[in-house]
Structures are given as structure tokens and as C-alpha cells.
């Protein structure tokens, strides 16, 4: 195609032969495999209503790039072409030497491209190549008994697959694409051995934060600060200050041998106050978890139960720390002081639990306000 200097819209269909350079695929076998590739591509495009002759195409040695003109609709290229490709491949493999048989990775994207005297280029075309090289796509084909694994860009999924009457979007699976400069979400489907239909995948992946989590989970993606970090810093600071007092005094007075011995120091009001504040904080945590998760979280209950168990185990140590602190002050801890210290201790525990829930995604970060996705 002659250079126009202007970007034009094209649908991009890219294919790559799995294991093209395998040791048992000699040069004659490679030539036969390539011939078969172009035959099955032309047949599949024709089945989708696109004549091979109207498309721009480039050879890639072990694959091909096909650019479909904009007058042809996108939908048949994801509704019809993949299954037609499977049928044509099956026929080719049935009549070919085993070293000329092929399985294909297929990528479908759309966007602007620019032609020049050397060929074609654009950011969208580069993205399409990155989709074809995505590790999840390679793994999907390697794990599948089928002949084709297809990946479509987020644009194709949102504009075509999601609205298709011929496809079930719930058999697609969102995957991270982390190839060179591209960090995005794409969707994989297996035309001849589809994934089970799972509507929850669509519901969860429609949320922006879920997309962000999948992308950040890809190797090499920039690490994002967890929302609960500030809770832990505050909690550990509070516990460190109070623990230093209690543990130091426990060791000095040889009270570490027995929690009961520590409790012989008269801190009845402090222990009672701390108990009430501890129980109240747990109740508040349970209420907050249920409200923020709207009662739908399967993990909120276990998290609260674990918090209660940890609190029961740690509580004698907290009381011992208060006891040691009262001895350092060389006075019986009055109710007001017990109230202040126990409030600090329980606040630290509550901050730790709140940060943990936020890290797990059980509740929304307090600093972000109400969730709006």
C-alpha cells in the first residue's frame, strides 16, 4: 500500500505458530507449515466475510499479520473467524505430516495504523504484537488440548464481545499483559475447548480496582502502596511505647515467670476498663466489616474470629504491660490513667485489624471515602 502520511483505522488479526522452531520441524516441514498457515487464514477470513485479497498482510516467518479494512465489521472476526480457523487447522493437520501440523495463538485488536514504503506501524499495532506474545496466552494454548487460543484487547472485548449476541462473554478470562512497555488487561478464550461460563468473572472484572489489581499482579509492574500501611505504623508505635514500659518493668521485678504474679499488682480498675474497651472495639470492628462489605464477604467473619482469638491471647500481655507501667510510675494506676492507657492499647489493636481488613480488600480504605467504581 502506498504511503499516505495519514493514520487509518484497521482491525488487526495476528497469528503465531506454536513451536515453529521445534527440532523435529525441518526446513521442508516449516515450508509446509507456512503454506498451510496461509491456506487456513484465507479460509477463516472468507468464512468471516472478509476476502483475503482486500486485506493488507505481512509475513512473520512463524506467523502473519493481517489488517482488515474498516468497511468490514469487527464482530465476525471474533464470532466466526476463531472457530473457522479451528476447522481449517483440523483439516490441515489431518492431511499433513506430524511435523507440519500447527496450533495457533490468535490476537485481535483494532486501532489506527500508518503505512510507509517499508510497511506499516503504529502504537496500536505494537500493542497487538504484545498481546500475541503475552505469557498467559502462551500458557493457555500449552494447557489446552485444542488448536487455537485467542486473545482480544480490552477495546475489542468491551466494544464487540460484551455486546455480541453470538458469543458468551463469560467464557472469556481476563489476564494481565505485561510485555515490554505494555501493561494492560486482555481477554483469552479457547474456541474449541472453551472455559466454563462464569458470570462472576465479568462482574468482578468490571470493577476498576479489580483491573488495577490484576495489572499490578503482573511481574515487573510498579508496586502500589497498600492502604493499610499507615495503620500499622501508628499501631506499632503505640505498642512499642507501652510495651517498652511493661516488658522492662516485668523483667526488672522478675514478674515474667507468671502472668498471675504480674496481676498481683493492684490494677483492678485498669484491667476492667481495658476489658470493656477491648470488647467494644471488637464489636465496632465486626459492625464496620459487615457494613463495608454489605454482608456479602465470605472472609469478614473469619477475619473477625481470628481477631478475637489473637486478642484473647494477647490480652494478658497487654494487662501485664499496664501493670509494669504502673510500677514504673511507682504508684497504683488510677482509673483515669487506666482509661487512657487501655484506650491507647485497644486503639493500636483496632488500627492493626482495620489495616489488615483494608489490605485484604474486605473494606474500602478509610481515606478514599465511599467506593464508587
Q: What's the pLDDT score for residue 368?
A: 37
The residue that leads in pLDDT, 345 or 86, is: 86
Q: What's the pLDDT score for residue 86?
A: 96
Q: What's the pLDDT score for residue 154?
A: 93
Sequence ranges of the domains in the chain: 8-216, 229-368
Give mean pLDDT, residues 132-139: 94
Please check the confidence at residue 141 and state whether its pLDDT lies above 50. Answer: yes
Q: What's the pLDDT score for residue 80?
A: 96
Q: Which of 85-89, 230-234, 280-284 has the highest mean pLDDT?
A: 85-89
* Inter-residue contact 149 to 105 (CB < 8 Å): yes
The residue that leads in pLDDT, 37 or 246, is: 37
Locus of grid cell 515450508:
31
- pTM (global) more than 0.75: no
Q: Is 316 exposed, middle or buried (0-12, 13-18, 19+ CB in 10 A)?
A: middle
Please check the confidence at residue 25 and state whether its pLDDT lies above 80. Answer: yes
Distance, CA of 275 to CA of 272 (rounded, Å): 5
Distance, CA of 241 to CA of 245 (rounded, Å): 7
The residue that leads in pLDDT, 44 or 363, is: 44
- High-pLDDT (> 70) share of the chain, %: 53
Question: pLDDT of 82-131, one tens digit each?
Answer: 999 999 999 999 999 999 999 999 999 999 999 988 999 999 999 999 99
* Residue 177 CB coordination number (10 Å): 24
* Inter-residue contact 320 to 255 (CB < 8 Å): yes
Q: What's the pLDDT score for residue 127?
A: 95
β 63-68/8-17 pair status: antiparallel
Q: What's the pLDDT score for residue 342?
A: 60
What is the band of 203 on the pLDDT scale with cuts at 50, 70, 90? confident
What is the band of 51 on the pLDDT scale with cuts at 50, 70, 90? very high
Give mean pLDDT, residues 2-23: 87
Strand, coil or helix: 108:
strand
Q: Answer whether CATH 3.30.70.1230 is correct for domain 8-216.
A: yes
What is the band of 218 on the pLDDT scale with cuts at 50, 70, 90? very low
Please check the confidence at residue 243 and state whether its pLDDT lies above 70. Answer: no
Amino acid at each position: 500500500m502506498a504511503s499516505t502520511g495519514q493514520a487509518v483505522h484497521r482491525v488487526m488479526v495476528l497469528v503465531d505458530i506454536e513451536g515453529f522452531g521445534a527440532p523435529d520441524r525441518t526446513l521442508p516441514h516449516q515450508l509446509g507449515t507456512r503454506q498451510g498457515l496461509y491456506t487456513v487464514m484465507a479460509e477463516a477470513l472468507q468464512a468471516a466475510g472478509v476476502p483475503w485479497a482486500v486485506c493488507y498482510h505481512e509475513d512473520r516467518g512463524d506467523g502473519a499479520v493481517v489488517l482488515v479494512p474498516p468497511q468490514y465489521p469487527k464482530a465476525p472476526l471474533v464470532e466466526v473467524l476463531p472457530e473457522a480457523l479451528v476447522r481449517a487447522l483440523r483439516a490441515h493437520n489431518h492431511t499433513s505430516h506430524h511435523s507440519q501440523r500447527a496450533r495457533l495463538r490468535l490476537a485481535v485488536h483494532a486501532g489506527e495504523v500508518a503505512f510507509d514504503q517499508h510497511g506499516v506501524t503504529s502504537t496500536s499495532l505494537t500493542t497487538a504484537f504484545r498481546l500475541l506474545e503475552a505469557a498467559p496466552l502462551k500458557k493457555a494454548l500449552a494447557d489446552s488440548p485444542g488448536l487455537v487460543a485467542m486473545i482480544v484487547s480490552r477495546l475489542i472485548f468491551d466494544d464487540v464481545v460484551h455486546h455480541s449476541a453470538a458469543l458468551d462473554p463469560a467464557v472469556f478470562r481476563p489476564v494481565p499483559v505485561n510485555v515490554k512497555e505494555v501493561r494492560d488487561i486482555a481477554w483469552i478464550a479457547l474456541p474449541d475447548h472453551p472455559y466454563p461460563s462464569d458470570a462472576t468473572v465479568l462482574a468482578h472484572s468490571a470493577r476498576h480496582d479489580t483491573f488495577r489489581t490484576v495489572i499490578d499482579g503482573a511481574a515487573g509492574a510498579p508496586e502500589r502502596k497498600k492502604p493499610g500501611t499507615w495503620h500499622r505504623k501508628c499501631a506499632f508505635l503505640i505498642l512499642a511505647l507501652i510495651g517498652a514500659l511493661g516488658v522492662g518493668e516485668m523483667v526488672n521485678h522478675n514478674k515474667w515467670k507468671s502472668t498471675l504474679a504480674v496481676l498481683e499488682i493492684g490494677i483492678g480498675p485498669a484491667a476492667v476498663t481495658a476489658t470493656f474497651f477491648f470488647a467494644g472495639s471488637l464489636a465496632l470492628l465486626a459492625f464496620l466489616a459487615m457494613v463495608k462489605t454489605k454482608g456479602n464477604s465470605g472472609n469478614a467473619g473469619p477475619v473477625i474470629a481470628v481477631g478475637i482469638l489473637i486478642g484473647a491471647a494477647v490480652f494478658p500481655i497487654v494487662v501485664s504491660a499496664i501493670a509494669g507501667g504502673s510500677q514504673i510510675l511507682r504508684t497504683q494506676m488510677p482509673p483515669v490513667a487506666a482509661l487512657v492507657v487501655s484506650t491507647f492499647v485497644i486503639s493500636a489493636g483496632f488500627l492493626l485489624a482495620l489495616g489488615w481488613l483494608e489490605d485484604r480488600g474486605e473494606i474500602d480504605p478509610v481515606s478514599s471515602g465511599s467506593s464508587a467504581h
